[in-house]
Structure 1
C-alpha cells in the first residue's frame, strides 16, 4: 500500500491542475487505472462523506467506510469507460452524499490523464449537484443508483440507442414510434437490426443483454434534457 501511495503521490505532483483543485469549492479527485483513490480535495472528502482522519489514498470505492460503497462495481466500470475516451464520460450518481448524508443525485464527469509516455494513468473527475425543477420517471423515487450518460458499449448507433432506451422500459414499437416521431415500421426494422447485432431474437434477449452490459443504466443525454429541466 505504501509503495502504491508513494508512486501515486509522485505522479499527482506533476499535474498542474492540483493547485486549482486544492482551492476549488466543488469536489475534484483522481484515481489510478485500478480505480484506487490517488487524490481528493477537501470538497471531495466532504462530498464523499469520508470520516475525518481516514486514509483514503490507495483504496477502492468499496474499501471506504461510506454509504455509497455498494455502487463500487458501477463506478469502476464507468472509470474504465472514461479511460477509453479522450472526451471522458459522465454519470449521475444517487446516494447519501455530503456530511449530512442526504440522498440526492450528483453529475460526475471523468476524464483520462496520461503519463510522460502518453499512456493512460487513470482518471480525473469532478462532481456537481444535479438540481432539477421537473422530475422525469427516473427520479420519481430516488434510491442509490448510478445512471450513465455515456454508452457502456460501442455496438450501436445513436438512433439505435434511442430505441433501446425506450424498449428497455417495455414500451411497444408503436409507443416508441410516437416518442421518436418515427413510423411504426421504422422502429420495427431498427429493432430487428439491434437483435441481429447482439444475436438475440426477442425483447427478452435484449433486456438480458442490457443487464449484462450495463445498458440498463444508460440514458441518452438528449432524452434526459427532454425529461428534466436542470440547472447548476
Structure 2
C-alpha cells in the first residue's frame, strides 16, 4: 500500500486490514508491511475521529473518537453499515455523504466538507471539517475512502494565531487565564453563561463591535456591551483578554443555536479551503 498525491493505493481493503492486524505475517510487499500496521495504529490512538469506508460507503473501520463523536451506543457494531443505519443524528444525511464519497473517488484527491450537526455526548450542534481521501487498487479502481475530521475552531485558532502573531504568547495567555478563572475547567460556554449572553460574547469573539452585535441580536448597543461585560465578570476574565480566552478554549466551535437555526448542514468545500 502506498500514499501519494492525496490518495492511497492498496490491493484491496481486505488485504489492508489483514496485513494491518497481522504484524508477523509473511508479506510480499515491504512497503505494505511497514505502512499498514502503522496507519491502523495511528487511527486507533488518534484523538481525531477517523476511519475507512468501502466503495459502497459501508464502514470498514472507525476509531473510538469517531464513535464518540456520533454518540453511538456502547458496543454498537459499525462495520458493514452505512450512515443511514446508524442511530445518530447524522443518519438522515446518508445520501449526501454517499454522494461526497463518490465525488472523492472521482476527484482522485482529498475532498473537504463542512459538517454542522449535533455531535458528542452532549449532542451540541457544532461545525467540523471532514477530509476524505480516496483509496484505489493498482488498476486505479476505487476501493473506498479514508476520512478524518477536526472541530472547525482548530482551523480558526491556528489561522488567527498565525496572522495576528499570537503563536509565541499563546501559552502565556493560556497559563494566566487558567489561574484567573475556574471557568477554564468548563467544557462548553453555556455551562456557565446564559444563551443570550453567550450569543453576544460569541459575536464579540469573532470580531464584531457593540453596534454590529446589537443589530444582529436586535438589541441596543448598550445592551450588547452589558452582556459582554456580564460574561467577563462571570468568567473573571478582563475584556481585553476574553477573545484570546475563547480561542484558546476552543469556544468558537460552539456556535449559538440561534445562528445555526438548529439546522444540520453538510457542504462540500473548495479545494483551497
TM-score (ref. length: structure 2) = 0.48
Which one of the candidate residues 3, 6, 12 is aligned to 2:17? 12
The structural deviation recorded for 1:135 is: 8.8
CA separation of 1:57/1:9 partners in 2, compared to 1, >3 Å: closer, same or farther?
Answer: farther
- Separation (CA, whole Å) in 2 of partners of 1:111 and 1:117: 17
> Does the 8 A contact of 1:114 with 1:121 survive in 2?
yes
Query: Who is 1:229 aligned against?
Result: none
For 1:146, the equivalent position in structure 2 comes to: 266
SS in 1 for 2:260: coil
Moved more, 86-95 or 139-148: 139-148
Change beyond 3 A, Cα 1:121–1:141: same
1:13 shift after superposition: 3.7
8 Å contact from structure 1 (residues 105, 129) kept in 2 = yes
Distance in 1 between the 2:142 and 2:117 partners?
29
Match of 1:134 in 2: 206
Judged with a 3 Å threshold, the aligned counterparts in structure 2 of structure 1 residues 8 and 55 are, in CA distance, closer, same or farther, namely farther
Question: Counterpart of 1:60?
Answer: 82
**Aligned residues of 2:53 and 2:61 also touching (Cα < 8 A):** yes
Alpha-carbon distance, 1:96 to partner: 1.1
**How many residues are aligned here?**
146
For structure 1, list consecutive stretches of 5 or more residues without a partner in the other structure: 1-6, 152-219, 222-232
SS for the counterpart of 1:84 is helix
Give the aligned partner of residue 99 of structure 2: 77
Once the two structures are TM-superposed, the CA of residue 12 in structure 1 deviates from its matched residue by 2.8
Who is 2:202 aligned against? none
TM-fit CA distance, 1:58: 0.4
Matches within 5 A, 1:141-220: 141-142=260-261, 143-150=263-270
1:112 paired residue among 109, 118, 134: 134
How far did 1:90 drift?
A: 0.3
Measured against aligned partners, the alpha-carbon deviations of 1:44-81 in whole angstroms (never above 9, x if no partner) come to 11112111111111001000011110111111111111
Superposed CA deviations along residues 153-189 of structure 1, whole A, max 9, x for unmatched, are xxxxxxxxxxxxxxxxxxxxxxxxxxxxxxxxxxxxx
Higher Rg of the two aligned structures: 2
Q: What is the CA–CA distance in structure 1 between the aligned matches of 2:15 and 2:67, rounded to whole Å? A: 20
Q: For residues 111-142 of structure 1, what are the alpha-carbon distances to aligned partners after superposition, in whole Å with 9 as ceiling and x for unaligned? A: 001235442200000010012553999x7325
Change (3 A) 1:57 1:135: farther
Give 1:144 shift.
0.8
* Aligned residues: CA RMSD: 2.6
Pick from 21, 32, 49 the counterpart of residue 27 of structure 1. 49
Q: Is the 8 A contact 2:13 2:143 kept in 1?
A: no
TM-score for the superposition, normalised by structure 1 = 0.56
Deviations 1:13-48 (A, max 9, x none): 443411111110100110000100010011111112
C-alpha distance 55-48 of structure 1, shift in aligned 2 (>3 A): same
Q: Distance in 2 between matches of 1:38 and 1:75?
A: 15
Query: Which structure shows the bigger proportion of residues in helix conformation?
Result: 2
Q: CA deviation at 1:95?
A: 0.8
